[in-house]
Amino acid sequence: MHGIKRTHLSKDAKLRKLEKDKVKIKTYRSLQDDVLDLKDSLVFDQMALDKTTKLLDLNPEFYTIWNYRRDILINYVLKDKSLEDLKKIISDELLFTMTQLKKFPKCYCIWNHRVWMLSYDKKISNWDIELMTVSKMLDLDSRNFHGWHYRRFIISSMESLIDKDDLYSLVLINLKELSYTSKMINRNISNYSAWHNRSKLVVKLFEQLLNADYTNILQRLEQEKIQNNNNNNIIDEYINNFKLFENLKNFINLEIDLLINAIFTDAEDSSVWVYMRWVLSSKFFYDKLSKDEYLQNLNKMLEKVEELNELEKDDNNGQNNPWCIKTTTLIKELIRKNSNTL
């Protein structure tokens, strides 16, 4: 690996390491056989649970053992427990997965087990703590797509506990999430997972606000600002984000300006270009605009992408920027489909 000094072992050291590895492999295989035998025998008890803990410590990618662990939890650990006992069990299991995630932050099996455990009873899970936890995980690796997927699960779970008629609370959760996502994009414009999350949030917010009373929601946001003097800047950000969704045409214009700024900042960043493709071709947006409005946006972006490509050619001995060429081709095709002439 880059930046890591290689260690050259002597012949004797290699032999000693080989012997140690043989012992480790023998121990692992013995434990694996024990756990699989217990699984086949449908043993659901504390001893079996402890053995899965040891095995998953050694190999967190062992999906079959995670499934067996869930069977033990359902048939033994969680069975006929009081509310307080359930909270303690869930807390312990979350602690176990967090210990694992610190070592293996991109292991799908661990994230999946955490989702399963929290889904066992969403009403007793502490979703605010979970949101803080995944935020810390994304601070360590802002592009961990497992973390972003988990974050969407948390938001969805929080929404499921809100009365469907309480539109304000539903909108506020997603406005907060949009602010967080924008912060992560500003921190690292190459964060594909953040751009993807933005696309999900934008559609969700427009759908939530389709028949909403904008004035009422805005007034409640203003009231919250008054009540939370210490967080005025944050509430102002939510209010500004909310105002973006009052007019679809204005939103798209602002989104295009955001993308223009992004591509001129880093013309090689694929995440921005992928998000641009979504903005330009999404039926969700352009089915709601007139053909003239749509073509106006396409032509504006085409002009900027062609301008950028000329700058890129100047800096790269006449070589076109591949993303500029791909996007130019896409935009021209979209224009052709929506008009009689280019």
Res 3: pLDDT: 44
pTM of the model: 0.87
Cβ-contact 191, 185 below 8 angstroms: yes
Token pair for residue 310? 């000329």
Cβ-contact 279, 256 below 8 angstroms: yes
C-alpha distances in Å from residue 55, one per residue of 20, 41, 112: 18, 18, 17
Output the tens digit of pLDDT for each of the chain's 342 residues.
334 445 566 666 666 666 677 788 999 999 999 999 999 999 999 999 999 999 999 999 999 999 999 999 999 999 999 999 999 999 999 999 999 999 999 999 999 999 999 999 999 999 999 999 999 999 999 999 999 999 999 999 999 999 999 999 999 999 999 999 999 999 999 999 999 999 999 999 999 998 888 899 999 999 888 887 766 788 889 999 999 898 888 899 899 999 999 999 999 999 999 999 999 999 888 888 889 999 999 999 999 999 999 999 999 989 999 999 999 999 999 999 988 644
Give tens-digit pLDDT for 43-65. 999 999 999 999 999 999 999 99
Cβ-contact 153, 159 below 8 angstroms: no
Instruction: Output the average pLDDT for the chain.
Output: 91
User: What DSSP designation does 319 have?
Assistant: P
Res 5: pLDDT: 47
Give tens-digit pLDDT for 137-188. 999 999 999 999 999 999 999 999 999 999 999 999 999 999 999 999 999 9
Q: What is the DSSP string of 10-58?
A: -HHHHHHHHHHHHHHHHHHHHHHHHHHHHHHTT--SHHHHHHHHHHHHH
With 0-12 / 13-18 / 19 or more C-beta atoms within 10 angstroms meaning exposed / middle / buried, residue 296 is middle
Residue for token pair 């121990």 = 27
